[in-house]
């Protein structure tokens, strides 16, 4: 997991910043921004089957940050479309875990008003590019409700 090395395939346009991208066995998952909107895209490389965009007022996008013991953390960006929630996450295990320093990322799809049903969780099997703490997202996206249904480990 990281930001250096060879480029990771993504669904972002040339004028968009890559906030997250990973190649999963079933397709490429990307989170992109042009400054005015955030797009969550998923599908085969070169052709996203799903393109979910933030509303003009950003009311369907939220960000969260969970801290664990021993300096572990996980941050996420969640876009909502009707009853579905698309959660892009990345994190690192703290020094009080079985795998201190292990980094990970992925995408979780939840269904229901409070995401009570997990539809799918994809853990990135290889290298990803991620910048979920980008100032642009943190400044415009709503924060998750503290101890609310989406303030959790994915």
Residue 56 gets which letter from DSSP? T
110 neighbors 125 (Cβ within 8 angstroms): no
pLDDT at 26 over 50: yes
Q: Residue 39: what pLDDT? A: 95
> Which residues, including other chains, have CB under 8 Å from residue 37's CB and lie 6 or more apart?
53, 54, 56
Q: How far apart are the first and last CA of the chain?
A: 17
Q: What is the pLDDT of residue 1?
A: 41
- Domain regions of the chain by residue span: 17-142
140-152 confidence digits (pLDDT tens)? 788 888 878 888 8
- Among 42-46, 102-106, 116-120, 135-139, name the one with the lowest average pLDDT: 135-139
- Global pTM reads 0.88
DSSP assignment string, 16-54:
SEEEEEEEETTEEEEEEE-SS-EEEEEESTT--SEEEE-
Digit-coded pLDDT (tens) for 82-116: 999 999 999 999 988 888 989 999 999 999 999 99
**Is-contact 14 8, C-beta < 8 A?**
no
- What's the pLDDT score for residue 4? 46
In the predicted structure, residue 136 carries a pLDDT above the cut 70? no
**d(Cα 46, Cα 68) in Å, to the nearest integer?**
37
How do 61-67 and 142-143 pair as beta strands?
A: parallel
């Amino acid at each position: 997991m990281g930001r250096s090395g060879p480029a990771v395939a993504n669904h972002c346009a040339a004028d968009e910043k890559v906030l997250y991208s990973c190649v999963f066995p079933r397709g490429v998952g990307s989170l992109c921004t042009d400054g005015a909107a955030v797009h969550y895209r998923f599908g085969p490389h070169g052709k996203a089957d799903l393109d979910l965009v933030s509303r003009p007022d950003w009311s369907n996008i939220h960000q969260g940050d969970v801290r664990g013991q021993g300096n572990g953390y996980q941050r996420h960006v969640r876009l909502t479309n009707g009853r579905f929630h698309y959660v892009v996450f990345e994190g690192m295990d703290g020094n009080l875990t079985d795998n201190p320093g292990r980094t990970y990322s992925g995408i979780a799809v939840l269904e229901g008003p409070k995401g009570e049903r997990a539809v799918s969780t994809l853990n990135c099997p290889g290298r990803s590019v991620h910048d979920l703490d980008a100032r642009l997202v943190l400044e415009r996206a709503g924060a998750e409700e503290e101890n609310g249904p989406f303030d959790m480990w994915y």
